Amino acid sequence: MRNRQASNRLNFKTVSGQTTCLDPVRSDGINRGNIMAVREILQLGNPQLYMKSKPVERSELPSVRTIADDLHDTMVAFRDKYGFGRAITAPQIGIMKRIVYSHTARPLVLINPELYDLSGETFALWDNCMSFPDLLVKVIRHKTCSIQFLNLDGELVEHKLEGDAAELLQHECDHLDGILAVQRAIDDKSIALRSQKDWLIV
Phi, psi (degrees; rounded to nearest 5) at 79: -60, -40
Contact 112, 69 (CB under 8 A): no
**Distance of alpha carbon 9 from alpha carbon 185, whole angstroms:** 32
**Distance of alpha carbon 69 from alpha carbon 101, whole angstroms:** 9
Task: State residue 202's pLDDT score.
Answer: 78
Q: Which of 10-24, 83-97, 151-165 has the least mean pLDDT? A: 10-24
Asked if residue 35 has pLDDT above 60, the reply is no
Contact 128, 194 (CB under 8 A): yes
Contact 149, 172 (CB under 8 A): no
Phi, psi (degrees; rounded to nearest 5) at 160: -95, 130
Contact 192, 200 (CB under 8 A): yes
Tell me the average pLDDT across 31-42.
Answer: 73
Known catalytic membership, residue 172: yes
pLDDT digits (tens, 9 = 90+) for 74-97: 999 999 999 999 999 999 999 999
Rg of the chain on CA atoms, in Å:
16
pTM: 0.83
Contact 10, 19 (CB under 8 A): no
Catalytic residue (choose from 57, 114, 162, 172): 172
Strand partners, 21: 12, 36
Using a pLDDT cut of 90, give the percent of the chain over it. 80
Task: Please give the sequence-ordered ranges of beta strands (E in DSSP) within 62-133, or none if there are none.
Answer: 87-89, 99-103, 107-116, 122-127
Structural domains in the chain plus CATH codes: 12-199 (3.90.45.10)
pLDDT band of 37, cuts 50, 70, 90: confident
Using a pLDDT cut of 70, give the percent of the chain over it. 82
Phi, psi (degrees; rounded to nearest 5) at 170: -65, -45
Strand partners, 95: none
Task: State residue 176's pLDDT score.
Answer: 98
Asked if residue 36 has pLDDT above 90, the reply is no
